């Protein structure tokens, strides 16, 4: 596959036009989120891989082209860049031919597949489900503007100063839970990340506290949040459903690890 220059990213947009699970790919193609784009034909792509800076990539298009050229991108670009991380995920449509192509192209790396799911936000459901939750002793919810990229990620020029909105539950210097916009956003929609950091602090409603703070801010700013999680993550799915989110899509993800 050939790598497109950023001004030519638009050439691959048609391959990633539908599906909320492809929001990260569309954010890269629009220049909102940093990434790289590889195609089988620079003038008229029939297959493409969009790599969002970090460990996520999205493939679409002709299965034969993906099978023939995906390995070269992985070995030549992905592995050297992620030498320390040694983990990569490829998102694909639930299309047997595409999945078979990905598996065949990367067979030597023993790909493992799992299902993920996106949830679309229903503000009316959220308002009906929203409830007051008492803050834990000594804790407070703090709004923060966080760097778009983690320090461990490559820092492409033009993105190091970009910030994303977050709400954190803190007790002194301890970060208990956080909900944030993760930077995958376009046309008024934005994916969110939610985490409770200490295992001992889970199942106490902390994630709901920060989630509600972020969702309130999204509503006020006219942002439509999108939730993504694995099918196996029952706790995340439960929090999504009870926070006004409705499941809309399931899709396979190919996970690669190497040493």
- CB–CB of 190/218 below 8 Å? yes
**Which residue ranges form the domains of the chain, and what is each CATH number?**
2-117 (3.40.630), 121-247 (3.40.630.30)
Position 165 pLDDT exceeds 70: yes
What DSSP assignment string belongs to 172-188?
Answer: TTEEEEEEEEEEEEETT
Give the sheet arrangement for strand 87-91, strand by strand: 2-3, 35-39, 47-52, 56-61, 87-91, 245-257, 112-121, 224-230, 189-196, 174-186, 163-171, 140-147
The whole-number average pLDDT for the span 150-172 is: 87
DSSP code of 46? Answer: S
Is 162 buried (19+), middle (13-18) or exposed (0-12) by CB count in 10 A? Answer: middle
> What pLDDT score was predicted for residue 137?
87
Reported pTM: 0.92
What are the CA-CA distances from residue 208 to residues 77, 118, 119, 184, 202 (Å)? 39, 18, 16, 21, 11
Q: pLDDT: is 184 or 54 the higher one?
A: 184
Using CA atoms in the order 104, 22, 160, 150, what is the torsion angle rounded to 10 degrees? Answer: -60
Q: What tens digit of pLDDT does each residue of 77-122 get?
A: 999 988 877 889 999 988 899 999 999 999 999 999 999 999 999 9
Q: What tens digit of pLDDT does each residue of 16-60 get?
A: 998 899 999 999 999 999 999 999 999 999 999 999 988 899 999
């Amino acid at each position: 596959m050939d790598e497109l220059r950023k001004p030519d990213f638009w050439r691959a947009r048609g391959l990633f036009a539908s599906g909320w699970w492809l929001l990260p790919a569309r954010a890269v193609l629009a220049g909102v989120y940093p990434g790289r784009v590889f195609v089988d034909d620079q003038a008229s792509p029939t297959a493409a891989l969009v790599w969002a800076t970090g460990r996520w990539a999205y493939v679409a298009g002709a299965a034969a082209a993906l099978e023939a050229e995906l390995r070269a991108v992985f070995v030549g670009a992905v592995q050297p860049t992620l030498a320390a991380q040694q983990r990569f995920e490829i998102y694909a449509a639930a299309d047997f031919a595409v999945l078979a192509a990905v598996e065949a192209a990367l067979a030597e790396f023993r790909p493992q597949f799992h299902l993920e799911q996106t949830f679309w936000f229903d503000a009316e459901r959220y308002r009906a489900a929203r409830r007051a939750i008492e803050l834990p002793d000594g804790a407070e919810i703090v709004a923060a503007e966080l760097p778009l990229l983690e320090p461990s990620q490559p820092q492409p020029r033009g993105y190091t100063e970009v910030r994303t909105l977050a709400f954190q539950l803190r007790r002194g210097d301890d970060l208990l839970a956080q909900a944030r916009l993760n930077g995958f956003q376009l046309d008024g929609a934005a994916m969110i990340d939610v985490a409770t950091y200490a295992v001992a602090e889970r199942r106490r409603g902390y994630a709901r506290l920060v989630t509600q703070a972020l969702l309130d801010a999204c509503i006020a700013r006219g942002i439509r949040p999108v939730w993504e999680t694995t099918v196996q993550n029952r706790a995340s799915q439960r929090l999504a459903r009870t926070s006004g989110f409705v499941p809309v899509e399931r899709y396979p993800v190919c996970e690669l690890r190497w040493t």
